[in-house]
Amino acid sequence: MFTADRMPSLKSVLLASGVVLTLAMGVRHGFGFWMQPISQANGWTRETYSLALAVQNLMWGAFGPFAGMAADRFGTMRVVLAGALAYMAGLLWMACVTQPMLFVMGSGVFIGLGLACTAFGAVSGIIGRVAPVEKRSWAFGISGAASSFGQFLMMPVEQFLISSLGWQQAFYLLAGLVVLAMVPMSFWLREPAATHADGPRQSIAEALGEALGNRSFLLLVAGYFVCGFQVVFIGVHLPAYLKDKGVADPKVAVLALALIGLFNIFGSFLAGKWGGKVPKRYLLSGIYSLRSVAIVLFLLAPLSPLTVYLFAACMGFLWLSTVPLTNGIIAGVFGVRHMSMLAGVVFFSHQIGSFLGVWLGGYLFALQGNYDIVWGIAIGLGVFAGLANLPVDERPLVRGGALKAA
């Protein structure tokens, strides 16, 4: 632990934020496993549960900038504490509420707020402020790898809990785990008043206006929209897609999602490492473009457990590797004083994409009985994002009469 007048060490911040991200992202990535048991138990179509997850993602994005502002202003510890309690409430809500719209809105607000306060946007600021400039991209990569490890760890755990205890009991156990693990870790994320951060003494409105008037920032926003659409559609609907196509063994879907998490560990770490050596915009462009290639090859190849695993490994390597690169560009261009807020704004775009990806998946399946159009949209968006990230300017803003980074 450390006193309130000095920053914590980078090691303690990465450890504590790693545990928080492992649980926050790991639990959330497994929500697709509850789609069929909850829908069957309540007599819902897939669209209802898909809408609930879509609202969760939208609320996560909507709360994100405000959680980031609070983290920058009042400290990460307080925000993570609030997020742990909200996350717990959301899991309990999903276990108990059976009225469709109450389920959708309540879980959306609680889980969305919980994720906004415990995921990347909330903790990116303290990581950026603690890490030296030369290690900043690497540190963001480590945090991304921690969230990926959570997916790898929690996928089989959540499937085991559902199959052995039942879907409601699984929610109860996870709610307790979230609070018991996140609350102690939050105290290692305590930081002094944000007077130490580099960058100009801007107000929140000035920092936000500067970013929204910057073309490169807007291109990052557009790219993150695509990221959200692709990963959440695949993460939520892949198990149901495989079952629809005749891959009846649920272990295939479990292993596929676990492989995404496993390979994302390497992808996030290497993206952070390479981001310190290669222009980040080129790496981002390559990631988005390769996602489209991977989806096309997956849809064209004969469907088998092997092709599912290869697709999962490839997508996993490209999954959240966008996060350290995008956050690294934001920190490098705008500084870290308002890092959490700006990361939250960009992530809001990600979550709008997530909302559309998961909701359209359920809506179009209910309408047409397949996911063909959504797969096509995901491919086209990947090509768009690959092109949109190429002109991003990574040079720090020159302020005071020469505000040019766009």
Q: Measure the CA–CA gap between 89 and 95, rounded to whole angstroms.
A: 10
Residue 6 lies in a domain: no
Q: Measure the CA–CA gap between 353 and 356, rounded to whole angstroms.
A: 5
Could you give the 3-state DSSP secondary structure of residue 183? Answer: helix
Residue 400 lies in a domain: no
Residue 404 lies in a domain: no
Residue 8 confidence (pLDDT): 83
Could you give the 3-state DSSP secondary structure of residue 195? Answer: coil
Q: Measure the CA–CA gap between 374 and 337, rounded to whole angstroms.
A: 39
**pLDDT by residue for the chain (406 residues), tens digit each?**
444 456 788 899 999 999 999 999 889 888 888 988 999 999 998 778 888 988 898 898 889 889 988 988 888 999 999 999 999 999 999 999 999 999 999 999 999 999 999 987 788 888 888 888 888 888 888 887 887 788 778 878 998 999 999 999 999 999 999 999 999 999 999 887 554 455 557 788 888 999 999 999 999 999 999 999 999 899 888 988 998 888 878 789 888 988 888 898 899 889 988 988 899 999 999 999 999 999 999 999 999 999 999 999 999 999 889 988 998 899 889 988 888 889 888 988 988 898 899 888 888 888 888 899 999 999 999 999 999 999 999 998 876 544 444 3
Residue 400 confidence (pLDDT): 58
Residue 290 lies in a domain: yes
Residue 406 lies in a domain: no
What DSSP string describes 29-69?
HGGGGGHHHHHHHHT--HHHHHHHHHHHHHHHHHHHHHHHH
Which residues, in sequence order, are CB contacts of 28 under 8 Å at separation 6+? 111, 115
CATH assignment at residue 317: 1.20.1250.20
Residue 183: domain span: 11-187+205-388
Which one, of 345, 79, 328, lies nearest residue 207 by Cα?
A: 345
Residue 67 lies in a domain: yes
Contact yes or no for 336/125 (Cβ under 8 A): yes
Residue 48 lies in a domain: yes
Residue 164 lies in a domain: yes
Residue 5 confidence (pLDDT): 55
Contact yes or no for 342/224 (Cβ under 8 A): no
Domain count, the chain: 1
